[in-house]
Amino acid sequence: MMWIRPGFEVYWRAPGSSQIGLDPRCALLLDGLSGGEQRLLERLPECAGPEELRAHARDLGVPARQVKSLLDRLRTAGYVLEGPAPDLHPSLVTGPDQGYWHRAAMAGHTRPSDRSDAVVAVHVHGLDPLGLRLACVLTHAGVGAVLLHDERRVRHNDVGGGLYRAGDVGRMRQDSATAVLRGIDPKVRTRRGPGTDADVVVLVRAGVADPVDYRDLMRQDVCHLPVLARELDVVIGPLVRPGEGVCLRCLDLHRCDRDPRWPAVATQATTRAAPAAETSLAWLGAALAAHQLLALVDGRDTLTDTSLEVSAWDPVPVQRRWRVHPQCGCSASALLPAVAG
């Protein structure tokens, strides 16, 4: 069985010359085409397999030998594949993420895992609008289990943006957030159960990361990502893989090197309410955090020992590099001299 890779439009360039796709990393230029072949290629986005293309060829009067030659060229370029066809149809793509990875394969990038089997635990003491936006992105992207935890109640300033509604005020955040995610995907799992141990925990906090959260995760050897909404920016990362690089205690120790009174301030900050993130920063922070988490779930490259800071005046996220603190002892690299990046 052969099938045609979906998601690519066909463009006329000149008599005898057509192009499939726009991105230079995956676009295919075809020259030396007859007028009939060019018209036939314009039907390609409507076809799930070669048989449909041959049916269009008969309608257009394109000879079978030209169709075979065209299919051979498309197969060589990777636009026609052999084997079981995926659950995609050119006229009804099952989702933007699945379609994206079919197109990305033309540029040599593959997604090695199935997101529906992955678990991302959004474990927060504050499913505020930033945390809920993040959970929504993960659910839209096809992650099968987005575990929610926040026993605080929805407040009036949580409402808006298509997330919490006025009727949710006073309800438990994790209950209302579950309803929001079920509206996106009724099958998404939002509670722990058999077979739903978390691959990564997201700590969405206001101001500073709470040591109580990340110390337990380090002891349990659980990968975790902090997302902090501070007074003027949102900070994503670094992604912590216990024993393999910088941890959140390293960041605290680097801060203490610059400010010996930091522990006293940080302790107070864990109990104080912080202003809600500016609207565009909340969406951008959620999207950047989700991008890193999906890369982890997919088995793709993630930022290593790096945090991203987004503010209203920086046109792009600011990357801040970190190194393991020599006094932390969280990994073997702690034995080497290190300073914050």
pLDDT digits (tens, 9 = 90+) for 74-96: 999 888 887 665 555 444 445 67
* Cα 279 to Cα 206: distance, rounded to the nearest angstrom: 15
Q: What's the Cα-to-Cα distance from 99 to each of 86, 105, 111, rounded to whole Å?
A: 10, 10, 12
* Cα 111 to Cα 68: distance, rounded to the nearest angstrom: 31
Segment 50-61 shows an average pLDDT of 92
Average pLDDT of the chain, as a whole number:
85
Residue 121 has pLDDT above 70, yes or no: no
Q: What is the pLDDT of residue 340?
A: 46
Share of the chain above pLDDT 70, in %: 89
Residue extents of the structural domains in the chain: 2-107, 115-335
Q: Is it true that domain 2-107 has CATH number 3.90.930?
A: yes
Q: What is the pLDDT of residue 86?
A: 58
In this structure, the strands spanning 119-123 and 80-82 are unpaired
Global confidence as pTM = 0.81
User: Considering only the top CATH level, what class is 115-335?
Assistant: alpha beta
Q: What is the pLDDT of residue 68?
A: 93
Q: What is the pLDDT of residue 193?
A: 61
Tokens of residue 39, six digits = 């018209």
> How many CB atoms are closer than 10 A to CB 202?
26
Asked if residues 33 and 41 have their Cβ atoms less than 8 Å apart, the reply is yes
Residue 211 has pLDDT above 70, yes or no: yes
Asked which of 21-30, 113-122, 179-188, 242-251 is least confident by mean pLDDT, the reply is 113-122
Q: What is the pLDDT of residue 166?
A: 93
